[in-house]
Structure 1
Amino acid sequence: MKRTWLASALITSMITSISMSATEFELSGKVSVEHRHFFKDAQFEGQFNGGQSSATIEPELYWSWNDGFDSIIFTPFYRVDSQDDNRQHGDIRELAYIHAADDWELRVGIRKEYWGVTEFQHLVDVINQTDGVEDFDGEDKLGQQMINLSLVQAWGIVDFFILPGFRERTFASEQGRLRGPIVVDKNNVNYESSAEQQHLDVALRWAHSIGDFDLGSYWFHGTNREPILTPSFNSEGVVLQQYYNQMDQLGLDVQATLGDWLWKFESIYRKTSTESFVATQAGFEYSFIGIFDTNLDLGLLTEYAWDSRGVVDFNTIEFGKSGSVFQNDLFVGTRLAFNDMQSTEMLMGVSTDLDHSANSFLMEATRRFGDSFKASVDIRLLQSSDSIDSAFMLRDDDHAQFSVEWYF
């Protein structure tokens, strides 16, 4: 936390030193209201039933000067929530200084860095910590302190990362839904490194486009973003303790655009002091353009996930060992793009655990209204009859989510 505010103070001092007459200032962002409705009563003690309402604000302030070669971006975030105390939280998503030159770029501060090409799981996305209270799909990330030097070469873009601070994952509180039977204690955290949150992580990534292929590979050394959860005790009783070990991870992502086919591949190799494993996500999307002589585009998606660790067995947790939710899973889905003035889109998909016959269904639909508003509907249904599978803990958490966003 000290380093977070040190970075904030440093960038703030840089802002005040800039002549306002030489700068360009932009303010944008969004405000959203959201409501989730759970179709079934909660299965664990302390959880709420029925609906959950919330609102967020995420402004973005952008300064640029020196003909745009220097800039600062600031993106704070805050959510208020009617049911889950842990989901009512704030974060600095971005607060960074960026200097661009002809063949290099320097980025210093708090940022979000996304890697990945697949649709249903992002194995290679390792820099930022997951903001787990936002949604259980892992798409939302916390801001990460970093120094990032990007070199542009004819043979690719090379990025060097120094990551001087670690963020712990967020989890639902006792009142929250989309959690297991034992609450994760956010105050009960241990680290393999004696430096704990101050461990200095590093990463190196290469990315390049060759013809129809977009390639990326990286090496990461530092604190694992995925905590190992083990039973412990506090004054309230049994809780889950977070343990963050050290890891080295190699990652590879490939995307090939071949006509109407889009082929996607992600794979990682991770080594810790207690285990090593390989995980892969691969698949394709085929697009039918202008079906039935309309503006409608239809995409068919298929992906397969494999993880050498096998499934997470929550009945027999072994300290230092982890598992995967997607150890042998098949995903199929369809994407509809209406190509209308309102940018209407819809994604539907089904995932199946081929080992334990667990299934989940998702639907995501969005549509703009006017120039400033966007409405979204998300539906998620979960089915499992095997207590070993992670979906078993969420079998009563089927829900629909409605949101309206105002962009300014």
Structure 2
Amino acid sequence: MTATPSDLRADLPVWARIGLLSFGGPAGQIALMHRECVETRGWIDEDRFLHALNFCMLLPGPEAMQLATYIGWLRGGWRGGVLAGGLFVLPGILAIMALSWVYVLAGDVDWIAGAFFGLKAAIIAIVAQALWRIGRKALKGPVALAIAGAAFTALFVFDLPFPLVVLAAAALGYARAPKHRGDLPPPEGRTGGTALVWAALWLVPVAALALTLGPQDGLTQVAVFFSQMAVLTFGGAYAVLAWVAQAAVDTQGWLAPGQMLDGLAMAETTPGPLIMVTQFVGFMAGWQAGGLGLATLAALITTWVTFAPCFLWIFALAPHAERLRHSPALAGALQAVTAAVVGVIANLALLFALHALWPEGAFDPWAAGLTALALIAAFLLKAGPGMLILGAALAGAGLRLAGLA
């Protein structure tokens, strides 16, 4: 697996486009990557995409960013992975930083509401497209349909932990599959040295802060807290938000409950993973401790310790994941996870739609109307994600300026 400068230069605008259009949380981002990498460009086939997605679903941290890194690694080794993962999160980092500055200096981020009101309609349509396309290819047979339905029910109705649902599907698939009796190919590349390099890049700055500033310093506490989060949180942003909110608001006192909701609104209406809300939390922790400069530094530290481990997990473990594609038993486990992931995406999509169409518990007819138009554009007019996002954003801004939404 080798990368050439020409390959990376060709991939750069594609990943930049994906990063700029990656609205709507993991469901929307997975849908966008599927369209761009599988359907439009044919970089990887359907089975390889689902294998990568299943693997990333089992890792701690934001699965969409890790999926981008995995696909980039398949395309061009660690350089391709850094390019893909870095460009996936860069627009969100810049947007959240700018909005955080506005938030503390001007005290009001309502001016962005008009521009982003319509985005949620576009995201619902993009996710619906992805569910239809992935579901048709992944749900082959009654067992897969049953697993997907059970996963959706477990998450939406019974609110079971995400890792438990995925692991249960994997165990079922493993038990049903034939067991491998031959030799597996060696891992694709060396992993030990890669793991050490990325572990050092992640943890050495944290240790340096603790040694120079002390364990009680605000920057050290931010670095340690979010480093722990990177290891202990499975299931992506939706699984971690409740824990982060409780710890940041109640335990640490870094921000008020209303401010936490404001940060979540920023993350939902800007490109990049929803876990970018942690950057706002780190920013507010630094703001409380010492003003704008410290807030900016705390936000950057938070972002680094949140995403650096993602590169570690992918670069150290993806070669083994590719190797295990040749094991029938583990392939069976991941096929079951594929079916469960369809249920997971359906759950995330429904939660997002409920939040968009029933904000604060009241039905919003304008949001529903925009969503209906976006669905028509997506399924009947075959509009791409860029046009859907641009059209919905302009329509939402027009409604807000007219005082209708």
TM range (shorter): under 0.3
Please report the TM-score for the alignment, with normalisation by the length of structure 2: 0.24
- Structure label with greater radius of gyration: 1
Q: Higher relative CO (CA 8 A, sep ≥ 6), structure 1 or 2?
A: 2
Q: 1 or 2, which has the higher helix percentage? A: 2
